Structure 1
Amino acid sequence: MPVKVNSQLPAVKLLEADNIFVMDETRAAQQDIRTLKILVVNLMPRKMVTETQLLALLSNTPLQINVDFLHMRTHQSKNITQNHLDTFYKSFDDIKTEYYDGMIVTGAPVENLAFEAVDYWDELHQILDWSRTHVYSTLHICWGAQAGLYARYGIPKHPLAQKLWGVYHQTVENPKHVLFRGFDDDFVAPHSRSTETLASDLPHDFEILSYGERSGLSLVVKKNLREIYSFGHLEYDRMTLDFEYQRDKAELGEEVVPDAYYPNDDPTQKPRMTWSSAASLFFSNWLNYAVYQETLYDLHELAKYDYFNL
């Protein structure tokens, strides 16, 4: 998929080195097609890493996509320069009159806080409300999934006895669902969280698509595919959990090794990448079946009807 972004974004050179096609603005302007518009609400602290991970996964179909990155104006980011945010990111004020085919809300390392205690909660809540009439399909990831369910339905998150951290087995509950088209019966996905959402709390018009014996809910969707909630991190690259392990070891003195991640649970060895094909297929299925084949040609029509509840 030709992903159209600012050609100066550092992630572009990394993706091109891996033979992932990223289209610059000049070439995109010469193509007479309706480009899909995707908004990424990037709440992760290492924003450049997350940019690269998501762009790699959004680049796996023949569709052309224009990607905008959004940051929280009410939060001071510590791991990225203000120049990077000013150059490559937009604020809600910049895009609130725009319409998007799809939106991704990432995770964030704030799950041990009450939702209302997160400094950008009101702003994020406003964005989620806005998406009802300005976005066709939204994919929520990890804390972003918990935040979406709480903001929209008041569904709480529940603390786990210990952090769920590693690569976990997931079972496809509905292999005929379009989001799991091409999947095997089982797959693995990274998880990194200290809280969970319970199946018993979900609204009646939701469907559980995958579940893990140890990880619990994996992927749930509203049946009209306007809302998709992934409680794992399929977007993580090979070294993300290793970074978290090394960080916690240095900052907290914790040496809890992520489950089923390093060969023989030995953190001196290179982590095994076991979820790449599932991640690529899932993001392609979301773009194809939940966005491209269902979205309105004229996105302004979203404002006229409550498509969110259709």
Structure 2
Amino acid sequence: MPIKIPDDLPARSTLEAEGVMVLRETDAVRQDIRPLRIALLNLMPNKVRTETQFARLLGASPLQVELTLVKITNHVARNTDSGHIAAFYRDWEDVRSERFDGLVVTGAPVETLAFEAVTYWDELRRIFDWSQTNVHGSFTICWGAQAAAHHFHGLPKHLLAEKAFGVFSHRNLAPASPFLRGFSDDVAIPVSRWTEIRRADIAANSGLEVLMESDEGGLGLLHDPAHRALHMFNHIEYESGSLADEYFRDVAAGLPAGKPANYFPDDDPARPPRNHWRSHAHLLFGNWINQIYQTTPFDPAAIGRN
């Protein structure tokens, strides 16, 4: 089944060129099925690129997915055209009365700030609480995952001595988990962050389960069953050139930029990187979508009642 996104969303042409099945809104209304409603709370500066990354992964599911783009209420995006935001995004305050099968919360370039210093922290906390009554399952990414772990479990965020930057091997610690069905024993995942959540801070009675972990990158994936959530601390959604773009951006800005580890062939930035994580990214999101489909109520009004 395809993913249903607005007909004019820029991601559509990219996904169609890649062979992703994209359903037009006019065709979707003729299908007598209930699509899974997934909300994407996009906190990244480049909205269009991030939309495409997640729509690509959500659209690979055999189930019909209806994607709703959500933003922090009254927050002005400085790196995306205001017309795009107005055309395709809805404020969270405008969707808070609705129910969704899934919620994806992206990363954000605010990780070195204290959580409480982030201008939209209070609203994000309300969104996390709302997810417990109006969303069946959540998937948080990078800073979004750190924020959720802090909100729900009080886990502190630690500043790293240097940026964790590169593609690092993660051990599959829970091969029997439905979220890691079909995963290899070791998984390469892009990492790009200045802070981390540490295993040592997780209380024994927290109910949190570490699903993936890396010697170089630390915690990779947590399952939070009490809050029906997955917390991915790294960027498995990244495209092949995402880390290269970050590296060259920092070089151009005169910032101290170390090359991403295990990324450029022979560590040569002049050579195009090879993607070693794409299949696992599709598998992880496919497993998450399937788990939601297997457990979400057929009647959306019943979401959040159990």
Short-chain TM bin: over 0.9
Q: CA RMSD in A?
A: 1.2
Identical-residue share of aligned pairs (%): 43
TM-score after normalising by structure 1: 0.95
- Answer yes or no: is the 8 Å Cα contact 1:74–1:123 preserved in 2: no
Q: Call closer, same or farther: CA 1:73–1:175 in 2, change over 3 Å.
A: same
Residue 87 of structure 1 corresponds to: 87
Distance in 1 separating the partners of 2:256 and 2:241: 18
- Answer yes or no: is the 8 Å Cα contact 1:40–1:104 preserved in 2: yes
Task: Quote the offset at 1:144 in angstroms.
Answer: 0.2
- Answer yes or no: is the 8 Å Cα contact 1:74–1:119 preserved in 2: no
Q: Which amino acid aligns with 1:104?
A: V
- Answer yes or no: is the 8 Å Cα contact 2:296–2:303 preserved in 1: no
- Answer yes or no: is the 8 Å Cα contact 1:107–1:145 preserved in 2: yes
Task: Quote the offset at 1:117 in angstroms.
Answer: 0.8
Task: Quote the offset at 1:224 in angstroms.
Answer: 5.5
Q: Which amino acid aligns with 2:190?
A: P
Residue 303 of structure 2 corresponds to: 302
Residue 145 of structure 2 corresponds to: 145
Superposition map of 1:1-310 within 5 A: 1-203=1-203, 204-223=206-225, 226-289=228-291, 291-303=292-304, 305=305, 307=306
Gaps of 5+ in 1: none
Distance in 1 separating the partners of 2:52 and 2:303: 30
Distance in 1 separating the partners of 2:220 and 2:149: 14
- 1:19-38 deviations in Å (ceiling 9; x for gaps): 11110111100110111000
- Answer yes or no: is the 8 Å Cα contact 1:74–1:120 preserved in 2: no
Distance in 1 separating the partners of 2:14 and 2:140: 25
TM-score after normalising by structure 2: 0.96
- Answer yes or no: is the 8 Å Cα contact 2:73–2:93 preserved in 1: no
Distance in 2 separating the partners of 1:109 and 1:251: 16
SS in 1 for 2:303: helix
- 1:35-67 deviations in Å (ceiling 9; x for gaps): 100000000001100111111101122200110
- Answer yes or no: is the 8 Å Cα contact 2:74–2:91 preserved in 1: no
SS in 1 for 2:274: coil
Task: Quote the offset at 1:105 in angstroms.
Answer: 0.3
Gaps of 5+ in 2: none
Provide runs of 4+ in structure 1 moved above 3 Å. Answer: none
- Answer yes or no: is the 8 Å Cα contact 2:167–2:262 preserved in 1: yes
* Count of aligned positions: 304
